[in-house]
Amino acid sequence: MAEREGDLVDLLRALIGFDTITHTPGSPPREEARLQSYLSGRLAACGADVTVHEPDAALIADHPGVPQGFTFEGRPQLAARFAGRGGGRTLLLGGHIDVVDVEPRSQWRSDPFDAVVRRGAVWGRGACDMKGGVASMVLASEVMSELGVKLAGDLIVNTVTDEESTAAGGFVSARTLNADAAIVPEPSSLEISVACRGSLLAAIDVEGRPGHAGTPARDPATGGAVNAIDKAAYLLESLRRLRAEWALAPRHPYLAAADCVVTAIHGGEWIVSYPARCRIECHLEYLPTPDGSDPAAEVRREFEEWIMRSAAADSWLRDHPPRVIWRLGGVPPAEISPAEPVVQTLVAVERALGRSGTIGGFDNWHDGASLIVEAGIPTVCFGPGALDIAHTVDEFVPIADLVSCAQGIALTAMRFCGT
């Protein structure tokens, strides 16, 4: 793998060159099909049985995170199977090919889709999240094939779309592919992550009373205007206190505390009018439960009660309570035991390679959670780069991490599947 560092960098640069900004409802596909075709050709040339297809969206129509009318048109999924000789376990390598938007594009030092190499890293949109991980798992598979490594069990390379929006690609994989374990090389800083937080998306609609901004303020009780943005600011302070309270809750052994981040505010109708409406958008992260159940309903209840208690302390909001709206896109947390064979195998491999083999948690959600929750496939997150670099301007991944990830994946496949 170390000798193929240049090929690994070239592969990643090629993947970054495809514009695969994630699909949102109503938007056209980008270059997802071209990227999947490129990977299909490479993997087929190494002896894999490759399927590239646009799944029937009916497979996941019942999923709460998938919007009505969703289709995979123009955004195919790929599954490449390297058949084993028999008698071994099947390992799935999974990664998403979509990336988040590049805006503000003017702040990038170089074209986000024309990857550059500098200071020992590859820079470009998706370098870290997660085309770097995809490049590592693909090259690991190719090198094993080229070296004539004969696995006893099957090795499946699976690349999906829509992880950054609906997670629909991962849901399809969970419902159509079978494996004894899986590795998802999201940017975990090469930690072996056995847990991830779930997420919920909330909007808080705040009501005001319109009026001319040029007139003196009057008491709302006598019909005076009420600034919805001011009332939203009152609730923002309440959300700050909620974050502080959640931060003090008992800690998970591998994950950060639950959190609520305000991600957008929309308010106002006209520059000389008191705003009649304001909306606060929030992204909530929450923890898995010891029994494996999804505590989403409890998190929603706690969040709504907190907002309503805060509103009750304000005379206007008490009589005009804010409305909490739960948006599509929530995903459950997931966790597996550190004693799972895939975890212990990867730990042993990393230590054999002279690295720490640290077990940890992934504070964001990833497609591996779908494999755990929907299919019962023990899945670890193990990938190059750091999560806090994902979604940033001038995104990058260290080349040394790419090589280390490919090494870890290849040796884990050999030990887990058998040779």
Residue 292 has pLDDT above 80, yes or no: no
Q: Residues 31, 98, 142, 335: which is the catalytic one?
A: 98
Q: Could you tell me the pLDDT band of residue 191, with boundaries at 50, 70 and 90?
A: very high
Extents of the domains making up the chain: 2-196+333-417, 198-326
Sequence-distant (6+) residues with CB within 8 A of 352 are: 411
Residue 195 has pLDDT above 80, yes or no: yes
* Residue reference for tokens 């409406």: 277
Q: So what's the pLDDT on residue 91?
A: 98
Phi, psi torsion values for 237, nearest 5 degrees: -65, -35
Span of 48-57, 325-334, 366-375 with lowest mean pLDDT: 325-334
Query: In 206-267, where does DSSP find H-type helix?
Result: 228-247
Q: What is the C-alpha to C-alpha distance for residues 128 and 132, in angstroms, rounded to an integer?
A: 6
| Entry pTM | 0.93
Residue 294 has pLDDT above 90, yes or no: no
Whether 281 sits among the annotated catalytic residues: the reply is no
Residues 32 and 19 sit within 8 Å (Cβ to Cβ):
no
Q: Could you tell me the pLDDT band of residue 62, with boundaries at 50, 70 and 90?
A: confident
Q: So what's the pLDDT on residue 148?
A: 96
Mean pLDDT of 303-318: 97
Residue 359 has pLDDT above 80, yes or no: yes
Q: So what's the pLDDT on residue 25?
A: 79
Amino acid at 74: G
Q: So what's the pLDDT on residue 177?
A: 97
DSSP tag of 267: E
Q: Name the 3-class secondary structure at 92.
A: strand
Q: Could you tell me the pLDDT band of residue 340, with boundaries at 50, 70 and 90?
A: very high
Token pair, residue 161, equals: 């779309």
Whether 237 sits among the annotated catalytic residues: the reply is no
The phi-psi region of residue 103 (left if phi > 0; otherwise alpha if psi is between -120 and 50; otherwise beta) is beta
DSSP of 16-47: HTS--BPP-TTPPP-SHHHHHHHHHHHHHHTT
**pLDDT higher at 14 or 290:** 14
Q: How do 198-207 and 323-326 pair as beta strands?
A: antiparallel
Q: How do 121-123 and 396-398 pair as beta strands?
A: antiparallel
Q: Which CATH class is domain 198-326?
A: alpha beta
Average pLDDT, the chain: 96
* Residue reference for tokens 């490759």: 50
Mean pLDDT of 183-193: 98
Q: Residues 31, 129, 154, 163: which is the catalytic one?
A: 163
Q: Which CATH class is domain 2-196+333-417?
A: alpha beta
